[in-house]
Amino acid sequence: MKTFGFGVQSADDKLGPIVFDQQDPRSGEVAIKITHCGICHSDLHQVRDDWGNTQYPCVPGHEVSGVVSAVGEGVEKFKVGDRVGIGCMINSCQVCDPCQRGEENYCDGPKSFTLTYNGPASPDGTNTYGGYTTDIVAREEFVLRVPDAVASEMVGPILCAGITVYSPMKHWNLQKGQTLGVVGIGGLGHMAIQLGKALGAEVIAFTRSPEKKDDILKLGADKVVISTDNAQMESMAQSLNLLINTIPVSHELDPYIALMRPNSALVVVGNLVSFPEFSPGPLVFNRITVAGSLIGGIRETQEVLDLCAEYNISPYIKMIGIDEINDVYDTLASGGDSEFRHVIDMETLRAHKAVKNDEATAIPNPDRGEVVTRK
């Protein structure tokens, strides 16, 4: 299957047209014609090798929305023409305890889960290519069914930002009537507010930006607290059952620990870098958990898609063409446009002159890994 996309071959490259041959669907696999793909800040980090683990060539994109174009032998869940999505994973061992529990994102098999791009989470030298492409193939267990009520351009961000904030709500058992705090009201935080309200929580939003207050309240937040205002922060002391911290850079945790009730959890989903020292005293005296959370399993990802359909929850998005992608990366790198998610209209890739004239740079074919039958 001849597949076109946009990718890079080194950390210094700009994203540009590439082409590769993709193996047709094997038994248990589904081929998807991609209609839209969201842009995640982690795409930028991976392309530029900010985490020191990038496989090149790198073809990003893990917020995929499209239509089934072919199915392999034995596929039961999908047929040609179905609207579907793919998030951060396309494979896992399927037999370890986390996989059996529906937590493929914590697969402890020999390669861990296989990322939609950049290969297995535990690298083995193979590479996968993501959703900045015309087509993608994945095993059916990792394909999500898109409800009719969710527009195709909205799907991708739900499969990344949506599941990233929904999974900790589920794991730490957020209950109706409890108080959820959300720190950082950007691409992740604006989804956390809407999903927390759908689950029946009182939602308190924490932001450094007073000018965002009205927009945050429109999302459904019950209260907006300016995190740089000491008096406002002190007024919220020991008020939260659960706090989802979406801030993507190193920052002080002590002010947020002070917000937590006894037996509560402060969950980090944004910062993969470091934290300054913080005092463990409040944790000990109030049995507060400081934890992290990584996306979610396929079962939870389907749940959050269905929840968005039921409650008419949509991410804030900005549609772009494929030729705008490098400008978007530069904007994200400078900290701009954090209040919404960019989504690529993939028809602009199919119409690109490098695709029409077959002038894209050829790169090695991807390796999706073994097809393993779930036991």
CATH code for position 46: 3.90.180.10
Average pLDDT over residues 140-166: 97
User: Dihedral of the CA atoms 342, 162, 68, 298 (nearest 10)?
Assistant: 150
- Which of 22-26, 81-85, 261-265, 368-372 has the weakest average pLDDT? 368-372
User: End-to-end CA distance of the chain, in Å?
Assistant: 30
Per-residue tokens: 309: 């359909």
- Asked if residue 374 is part of any domain, the answer here is no
**74 and 165 inside one domain:** no
- CA nearest 314: which of 146, 176, 195, 207? 195
Read off the tokens for 154. 């909205």
Residue 142 lies in a domain: yes
Is position 304 within any domain? Answer: no
In this structure, the answer to whether residues 136 and 179 fall within a common structural domain is no
What's residue 274's pLDDT?
87
From residue 372, how far is each of 100, 140, 363 by CA, in Å? 13, 11, 27
pLDDT at 340: 78
CB 232 within 8 A of CB 256: no
Per the CB < 8 A criterion, the answer to whether 145 and 308 are in contact is: no
pLDDT digits (tens, 9 = 90+) for 182-214: 999 988 999 999 999 999 999 999 999 999 999
What is 147-205 written as a DSSP string?
PTTS-HHHHHHIIIIIHHHHHHHHHTT--TT-EEEEE--STTHHHHHHHHHHTT-EEEE
Task: Pick 372 or 157 by higher pLDDT.
Answer: 157
Are 192 and 77 members of one domain?
A: no
One domain for residues 7 and 133: yes
Note the pLDDT of residue 159: 97
For residues 334 and 267, state if they share a domain: no
Q: Are residues 270 and 321 in the same domain?
A: no
Paired sense of beta strands 83-86 and 144-145, if any:
antiparallel
Q: Are residues 90 and 231 in the same domain?
A: no
Whether the predicted pLDDT of 56 surpasses 60: yes
Task: Tell me, yes or no, whether 134 and 182 share the same domain.
Answer: no
Name the pLDDT band for 23 (thresholds 50, 70, 90). Answer: very high
Q: Which residues contact 137 (CB under 8 A, 6 or more apart)?
A: 1, 22, 23, 24, 25, 29, 30, 31, 32, 368
CA-derived radius of gyration, the chain: 21
CATH, residue 197: 3.40.50.720
Whether 136 and 13 share a structural domain: yes
Q: Tell me the average pLDDT across 286-301.
A: 96
Residue 32 has a pLDDT of: 98
Say if 251 falls within a structural domain: yes
CB count in 10 Å sphere of residue 183: 27
Residues 352, 256: one domain? Answer: no
Domain presence at residue 185: yes
Average pLDDT over residues 60-79: 96
State the Cα–Cα distance between residues 70 and 51, nearest whole angstrom: 35
Provide mean pLDDT across the span 137-160: 97
Asked if residue 302 is part of any domain, the answer here is no
Domain check: are 236 and 135 in the same one? no
Across the range 347-360, mean pLDDT stands at: 95
On whether both 123 and 6 belong to a single domain, the answer is: yes
**pLDDT-derived band at 375, boundaries 50, 70, 90:** very low
Q: Using the predicted structure, report yes or no on whether residue 250 has a pLDDT greater than 60.
A: yes
Instruction: Determine, yes or no, domain membership for 308.
Output: no
| pLDDT value, residue 337 | 65
Distance CA 236, CA 72 (A): 54
Report the domain count for the chain.
Answer: 2
Tell me if 282 is assigned to some domain: yes
> Is residue 313 pLDDT above 50, yes or no?
yes
Distance in angstroms (rounded) separating the CA atoms of residues 141 and 370: 13
Average pLDDT of the chain to the nearest whole number: 94
Residue 339 pLDDT level (bands cut at 50, 70, 90): low
Domain that holds residue 335: 2-151+314-362
pLDDT of residue 373: 57
CA distances from 115 to 23, 88, 216, 291, 293 (A): 17, 6, 32, 23, 17
